[in-house]
Amino acid sequence: MDMKNAIITFRGDNNCKLNELQKNRIELEILNLFNKYHFIGFYLGNRNSFDFFIRGLIYDLKKKYKLPCEIVFVPHRVGVEYGDFDAFFEKVVFPPLNEVPPEYSAQRRDNWITERADELFFVGNSRYGSARETLDYARLRFQKYGKPQITEL
């Protein structure tokens, strides 16, 4: 099988309470990605407890298994100053948000990531919110372009 590089992203509800079974499944899904892809860029946000959980998990798995990946921070606004850059992130990619009003910048950033992602993992059960809006947008993109591949956990 010819393996390629990939962009993977995760979206989850802010108040997402994960049990051990869910955490283990997410870990397994991340590890299984390395059977499909040569190198992975994990494009992540840094806004809520789900984002913190995912980036910490990927960071720990990368260290433990020496995984061929990078953890990429994609900020939701142009002027990021509040300690968003830390040891978990190895790279920063700035989406074109200069003309986007602040109240729309987080969702526009999420759409920008989705447009580039090969796979999107969604964790949550709320019917509303930015994570759900991103999932809906990803579904439309998949119907039109065949990607990103969507996994709901």
| Percentage with pLDDT > 90 across the chain | 69
Residue 148's pLDDT is 97
Residue 124's pLDDT is 85
CA dist 55 → 13, 47, 98, 127 (Å): 15, 11, 26, 24
CA dist 34 → 13, 28, 116, 153 (Å): 25, 10, 19, 18
Q: Could you tell me the pTM of the whole model? A: 0.92
pLDDT band at residue 82 using 50, 70 and 90 as cut-offs: very low
d(CA 38, CA 146): 20
Q: What is the pLDDT of residues 90-107, one digit of tens each?
A: 888 989 998 999 899 999
Residue 85's pLDDT is 60
